[in-house]
Amino acid sequence: MHKDELLELHEQMVTIMEYFSDLEQVDSTLFDPYEELDVTPSDVHMSKSEHKHAVFVLGNALANAMSEDEFSDAGRVGKRMKELAEDAERKL
């Protein structure tokens, strides 16, 4: 995936995060790990690897926001996103 495509994906995922953040039944602290990264889609000067890591961390949070438990489809996606985020972080 090219960096511009990754930035677009990152931007779309942030839009989804904002939607979930507005829902009362979603724990707002789910998105804290992503927020702590301080990597936004508009930070075009940051590396592709940093954006990739941010996308996986955000993907994990979104999947957890949608999951009923760790064995649901979203729960399994969340677990995989966490693994990918950890791998991406090691490569930073």
Q: Whole domain around residue 19: which residue ranges?
A: 3-90
Residue 52: per-residue pLDDT: 95
Identify whether the C-beta of residue 63 lies closer than 8 Å to the C-beta of residue 77.
yes
Residue 92: per-residue pLDDT: 85
Residue 43: per-residue pLDDT: 96
Q: How many helices (H) and strands (E) does the chain have?
A: 4, 0
Structure tokens at 73: 């489809």
CATH of the domain at 79: 1.20.1270.110
Q: What is the pLDDT of residues 17-38, one digit of tens each?
A: 999 999 888 888 999 999 999 9
Residue 69: per-residue pLDDT: 61
User: How high is the mean pLDDT of the chain?
Assistant: 91
What is the domain count for the chain?
Answer: 1
Structure tokens at 6: 């990754």
Q: What is the pLDDT of residues 71-91, one digit of tens each?
A: 567 778 888 889 999 999 998
